[in-house]
Structure 1
Amino acid sequence: MKNSIGFTADYARIPHTRPDFFLRGVDVAFYMPGRIRLYCRTLQGNEKYKERISKYLQPISQMGHIEMNHLSGSILITYNAKQLRKNADLARVERYIKGKARICTAPILV
C-alpha cells in the first residue's frame, strides 16, 4: 500500500541515512535532552565493533562525548542539544530516540 507521497510502508522502514542504519541495531534505554543511553547486542563482547561505531560516530561534529562498553553493549552519548538540533537529520534522529526510549525524562509532546 502506498502512502500519500508514493512510497510503500516497507520502503519507509529501510534505513536511508547513516544514523537510520545505526539506530536499527540499538535499543534506546534512556533519553533526556543532551544525554542518551543505548544498548547494542552486536557490541556486546565485540571490541572490533566498538571501533567501528567510534569511527562511524566520530565525524558527526555535533556529537559531544561518547562512552562505550563492549562488555555490556552500552553506549552513552552526551551532547549539546541546542547545537545538535541545528542539523535537521540529527534533530530527526533525536526525536526518534525520544519516542523509543524506555525511560524519558523530557515531556513527549503529542
Structure 2
Amino acid sequence: MTAGPGATDEVLTALADPTRRLILDRLAALGDATATRVAEELPVSRQAVVKHLGVLDRAGLVEGHRDGRERRYQVRPDRLVDTARWMNQVADQWTRRLDLIKRIAES
C-alpha cells in the first residue's frame, strides 16, 4: 500500500515532535504496551503520552486496541516504510538533477 501525499504529511508532522519520536522508539522496543508503560521512562506524564499516541495513531504510525480495561498500542511500520520510500524517491530525483548540473558545469 502506497501512502498518498496527505498520509506522508501526517507522518512527517507526527515525527517532527521529539517527544513523539521518543514514544515511538519506546513503543517499538516494548512491542506492545499501554500508555502507562510507555510513560514510565519518559520525561512526560501519562496524559501527555496519551495525547501524543493519538497523533501517532491518526498518522497511522501506531495502532491501539482494547485489552480489558486498558488500551494497548503497537507500532505500525507500514507508514514508516511508505514515507521512507517517498524520501528515497525524492533523494534520487535530487541526485539526478545535481549530477546533470555537474555534467553541464564540467563540459
Q: TM-score, normalised by structure 2?
A: 0.32
Q: Which has the larger radius of gyration?
A: 2
Structure whose residues are more often helix by fraction: 2
Q: TM-score, normalised by structure 1?
A: 0.31
